[in-house]
Amino acid sequence: MTRAAVLVARAIFPEVLDQLRQVFEVDHNQDDVVLSPGQLRERLLGKAGALTTGSERIDGPTLQACPGLKIVANMAVGFNNFDIEAMTRAGVLATNTPDVLTETTADFGFALLMATARRVTESEHYLRAGHWHQWRYDLFAGAEVHGTTLGIIGMGRIGQGIARRAAHGFGMRVLYHNRSRLGPELERQCKAGYVDKATLLRESDHVMLVVPYSAASHHTIGARELALMKPGATLVNIARGGIVDDAALVQVLRERRIAAAGLDVFEGEPQVHPDLLTVPNVVLTPHIASATVATRRAMAQRAADNLIDFLLRGRPRTPLNPEVLT
């Protein structure tokens, strides 16, 4: 029997690649060169499946150019690099990697919140630069975290993980805003209260963004929303670039209209708005919220399992558009 051909579009753990090689003809990219849209189309020609990351865009023209494609398995929970409607129309299954990264990503949301409120990177730069000569009563005095109010925008699995950490670990009051309200049992477990976005922004000491990116969530936080936040508040974005208007954020950080921000994702990443690099009161990390060795391995495994289970057995684990299976 001929083996199906698949593309692994970026470098992944060698042991996961080996599993795929046991059952498929694999075209890999262990050199990890980011493929241009044209290169991606060329490499997808004749492939039944692909393992992608958020860097590869799967859209209508790509699907038209690659009629043999049956499944694209994203190694990410977010899938805004997919045009899901076009994939469904073309009969191409899309899968992602939910669940395996929830707690790790919630941990990182908290790491970024703590680093931002307590000025961790700013103070480390000061120390490394040799500026630390003596203890001082207000040296890098930051914002309190425990016992304050956390506002979470986007209350999916990761948002709920952050809420549980905040409420149960840090004694915080948790407010949330989401497209749909959680059921009473989940609200009770997360100790979280539903409010509209403006109330959340006005009442929170810290705001955390965990909302998926779509045209509707573009610039969820812009100049108008930033103006509603408390003067001493912090803003953390572990969701996607484009959820925050980065240029508007630079402005309020410069003028200290909010205290600080922590950003793991950026508009147009891996480019970063150049002015963000010049303001001291922002913690910047390169899209690493799910990056522990165990979790990244689990994500790669989940994506590989989706390819194997679908192409060999017709039963993917975590389909995004299951209607193409019927």
Tokens of 153: 């925008």
CB distance 280 to 122 below 8 Å: yes
Reply yes or no on whether 313 is catalytic: no
- Report in angstroms how near the CB of residue 115 gets to ligand GLV at its nearest: 18
Site residues for ligand GLV, 135-164, by CB under 6 A, read: none
- x-or-dash string of contact with ligand GLV, 93-132, rule CB under 6 A: --------x-------------------------------
301 binds ligand GLV (CB under 6 A): no
Place of tokens 């108008």: 224
- Report in angstroms how near the CB of residue 169 gets to ligand GLV at its nearest: 23
Catalytic residue among 240, 273, 296, 302: 240
**How many residues interact with ligand GLV (rule CB under 6 A)?**
6
- Is the CB of 79 or the CB of 176 nearer to ligand GLV? 79
- Is the CB of 217 or the CB of 290 nearer to ligand GLV? 290
Backbone φ and ψ for 224, nearest 5 degrees, come out as -65, -45
In sequence order, the 6+-apart residues with CB closer than 8 A to the CB of 28 are 7, 8, 11, 17
Distance between CA atoms of residues 7 and 303, nearest Å: 12
CA angle 149, 151, 152 (to 5 degrees): 145
Reply yes or no on whether 287 is catalytic: yes
- Is the CB of 120 or the CB of 288 nearer to ligand GLV? 288
- Is the CB of 54 or the CB of 316 nearer to ligand GLV? 54
Reply yes or no on whether 168 is catalytic: no
77 binds ligand GLV (CB under 6 A): yes
290 binds ligand GLV (CB under 6 A): yes
Q: Give 212: exposed, middle or buried? Use CB within 10 Å, 0-12, 13-18, 19+.
A: middle
76 binds ligand GLV (CB under 6 A): yes
End-to-end Cα separation, the chain, in angstroms: 25
CB distance 318 to 97 below 8 Å: yes
232 binds ligand GLV (CB under 6 A): no
DSSP state of 10: S
Distances (CA, A) of 258 to 227, 274, 292: 9, 19, 30
52 binds ligand GLV (CB under 6 A): no
Tokens of 76: 């990410």
Positions that interact with ligand GLV (CB under 6 A): 54, 76-78, 101, 290
Q: Which amino acids are annotated catalytic? A: 240, 269, 287
